[in-house]
A and B are shown apart, each in its own frame.
Chain A
Amino acid sequence: MKLDDKLYLVRFNTDKLSHIKINDPKICLNQCQDKPCTRICPAHVYDWDDEEKRISVGYEGCLECGTCLIGCPYGNINWKYPRGGFGVSWKNG
């Protein structure tokens, strides 16, 4: 089953504001060869945008596990919980 189809099953109350920020996009471009955020996020929130030369962040699909915050080797992801009441809302848990 494709990840996109799985994420389609998840209920979100999406905030207009992103709860995720890349601190310094230059680090992703110049220093981070491996870009583990593009793999380790269970929801594939992070993607390398080759045209814009930056990591694109699809915060709307974030499952709020915190993996990216801990896994970024440069501590370059400013990941917080969404504001109260926003974000993922599990149906089963």
Chain B
Amino acid sequence: MENFDVIIVGGGPAGLSAAISAAHAGMKTLVIERGDYPGTKNVMGGILYTKATDMVVPEFWKEAPLERPIIEQRIAMLSGDESILAGYRDPDWAAEPYNAHSILRVKFDRWLAQQAEKAGVMIITETLVEDLLYKNGNVVGVRTGRAEGDLGAKVVIIAEGVNNFLAVKAGLAKSLKPATVAVTVKEIISLPKEKIEDRFCLDEGQGATIELYGDSTAGMMGVGFIYTNKDSISIGVGAILESVVREHWTPNDLLENLKAKPYVKRLLQGGETKEYLAHLIPEGGYTHVPRLHRQGVMVVGDTAMLMNSLNREGSNLAMVSGKIAGEVAAQAIKAGDVSDQAMAVYESRLRDSFVLKDLHHYRHMGKFFEDNPHLLKIYPKMFSKAAKMYLTADGTPKKQRQKEIIQMLFEQRSKGGFIKDLYGAWRALL
């Protein structure tokens, strides 16, 4: 049996970040990836955050295959054919130090894997890890699907993605539930650069994002998204699986509905679909974060439920968790102590970072939306109606119109209901 210091299961942003930091600390490091190369099994909406990535590969933007730096983030609330829009644009984001870029994972993850290899990491592909290896109750490596596929390790880092098979087998995580995942589908639609830049009012090379709420998910808890790539657009929609089951939707119909919305249709017009993808997003939040460590094991990235969907942050949480886990693994191995207590340093460092702080901050959010399924159904409609009444110039004096609007709002939702929603939102989000 071949032995390593650190074995990492999974070649996504979390796993590769862990590998790079472990290798930099002098560890003999192996990444085991089930795809034919890191990236070919990996899916996300498509936004990569600069700060977290820079911590793993300094000044990565000079070399990495990125699509466009994001200079504008729009939010749309859809109600039928109507939309309410808000956004923030800062052209400074088009230059260093940047904030975020759109990426395509097959290209980016491949590049990140090459950086890991440069750092001395060994990568085995087309190999599925089936279980951890134990000796006297201690984790001593992994069992792969290959013949004579046992590999030894002092520390195993589980970065297997949202489907947490190994973490469950190791007794660290519970099986996922329909309420703790969002089923998400995405299309990549090719469009000429100039068309993208014209339609999104961008200078050459700049990028924009739009998150769409309300009817983008048929009022279900979830979000639609549109991200500009170099010469394509990523458009997708995700919703909590429990509601998709209950409301008898199919993911592809949701996406087709979104694509048919007047505001969206025009942005995509003339484009050609290049790929259709599906993925789960871990949405359990803080209360569903699994046990993050045990003797010789740490859990990172999506497997650890590290996802802040309100701010659309996931890849950065994954990379920071991976980087810390790689460092902790190296320290523990050098000190000759890979006990649960030694691995616990990983969790305390995550707690000191924005990763678990942000999840903790939003810890009531999942339940708030779960308990109030009306929010994304009635508010977009109410706000659209209010906007239409306010902005339609039909000769009604404004004072009277404002009264009518307030009356309309209270017909849709009682004063007590508004206060309850507002208090709930304040508690969940602030």
Q: Give the B-binding residues of A (Cβ under 8 A).
A: 1, 3, 6-7, 9-10, 13, 34, 36, 39-40, 42-44, 63-67, 69-71, 73, 80-85, 87-93
Contacts and interface: CB of A to CB of B under 8 A. Distances in A.
Contacts of A66: 162-163, 176, 181, 280
B144 interface: yes
B40 interface: yes
Given A40-B250, A90-B41, A84 B276 contact: no
Contacts of A90: 39-43, 105-106, 275, 277
Contacts, number: 134
B181 A70 contact: yes
B250 A10 contact: no
B276 A93 contact: no
A93 B277 contact: yes
A67 B162 CA distance: 11
B275 A39 contact: no
B39 A67 contact: no
Given A6-B273, A70-B177, A92 B278 contact: no
B205 interface: no
Contact of A71 (B34, B232, B241): B241
A-B pairs, 10 with minimum CB distance: A93-B105, A85-B126, A42-B278, A6-B276, A93-B106, A63-B278, A65-B278, A42-B251, A84-B127, A66-B163
A81 B125 contact: no
B18 interface: no
Given A9-B274, A71-B178, A3 B252 contact: yes
Nearest to B251: A42
Contacts of A93: 39-40, 42-44, 104-109, 277
B112 interface: no
Interface in B92-111: 104-109
B279 interface: yes
Contact of A89 (B36, B184, B249): B36
A40 B183 contact: yes
